[in-house]
Amino acid sequence: MFTEAAPLPARTFNSLKIRRYPGLEVLGRWSMTLVPVMWAVWGVLTVAAVALYLYRSSLTRDEEDQIYLDDAFQHERSAQEAIVAKVGKIEPALRVAVWLVAAWTLLVVAYYIWDIVVQFK
């Protein structure tokens, strides 16, 4: 039926429209490369935080709520102290990861709010 391919539209200056932001002039199609990078960083941070949380959960699964202080249970006490030491090493990294995810989430939301405001100007 149709044997010819439709011609591609010619590129004009309007197709490479310059978007003006406060203090920045960026080509419209190039500014979109920021969005996948932004989401990729957010994903990596989130996966790292979840991995740390799961590791901490697997460590605390073996932790006992009550231990006996008798000398016969010295091996139990040393095992529990080792678990507490490992969890103590993981906690600061987990807190930092959660705060980074929260901050990056706010950055992503702020970017989209800013983009909406710029689009409606």
Question: Does residue 97 lie within any of the structural domains?
Answer: yes
Question: Does residue 15 lie within any of the structural domains?
Answer: no
Q: What pLDDT band is residue 84 in, cutting at 50, 70 and 90?
A: confident
Q: What pLDDT band is residue 101 in, cutting at 50, 70 and 90?
A: very high
Q: What pLDDT band is residue 77 in, cutting at 50, 70 and 90?
A: confident
Question: Does residue 41 lie within any of the structural domains?
Answer: yes
Instruction: Please determine, for residue 6, whether its predicted confidence score (pLDDT) is greater than 90.
Output: no
HSE-CB for 23 with a 13 A CA cutoff: 0
Q: Can you give the pLDDT at residue 105?
A: 96
Parent domain of 53: 21-119
Question: Does residue 4 lie within any of the structural domains?
Answer: no
Question: Does residue 106 lie within any of the structural domains?
Answer: yes
Mean pLDDT of 54-65: 80
Question: Does residue 16 lie within any of the structural domains?
Answer: no
H-helix or E-strand spanning residue 25: strand 24-27
Question: Does residue 10 lie within any of the structural domains?
Answer: no
Domain count, the chain: 1
What is the per-residue pLDDT across 16-45, written as a single tens digit (0 to 9) for each? 555 555 555 554 555 557 888 899 999 999
Question: Does residue 107 lie within any of the structural domains?
Answer: yes
